[in-house]
């Protein structure tokens, strides 16, 4: 459990690392679901509406790729990698243990 108990002996985890690891856990779960599920298309899809003339919005996939680049695995096909639960769990642990300024 990643909760912090006031007065306890543990140190509160860095919130950025917790968010990144939870995002990676969810992405691995969705990647293993398969393409026929709706949530899989939401994760990998592009928005259909026209965007205003600003910088492009960041998608979930972009965040996952950035997290993988931070641990040195940005070149890999993350959907294929997520099919192996043990390797994916190792990556999630690596993302959780990153030093965040």
pLDDT, residue 42, reads 73
Q: At what angle do helices 60-70 and 15-33 cross, to 10 degrees?
A: 120
Phi, psi of 84 (to 5 degrees): -95, 105
Instruction: Give the pLDDT mean for 83-88.
Output: 90
pLDDT, residue 86, reads 92
Instruction: Give the pLDDT mean for 82-96.
Output: 86
pLDDT, residue 19, reads 86
Instruction: Name which of 20, 2, 31 is nearest 100 in CA terms.
Output: 20
pLDDT, one tens digit per residue, over 17-75 is 888 888 889 888 888 887 777 777 777 766 667 666 777 677 778 888 888 888 787 77
């Amino acid at each position: 459990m990643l909760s912090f108990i006031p007065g306890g002996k543990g140190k509160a985890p860095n919130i950025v690392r917790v968010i990144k690891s939870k995002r990676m856990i969810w992405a691995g779960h969705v990647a293993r679901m398969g393409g026929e599920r709706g949530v899989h298309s939401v994760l990998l899809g592009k928005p259909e509406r026209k965007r205003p003339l600003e910088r492009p919005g960041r998608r979930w996939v972009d965040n996952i790729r950035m997290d993988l680049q931070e641990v040195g695995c940005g070149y890999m096909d993350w959907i294929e990698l997520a099919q192996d639960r043990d390797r994916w769990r190792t990556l999630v642990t690596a993302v959780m243990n990153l030093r965040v300024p």
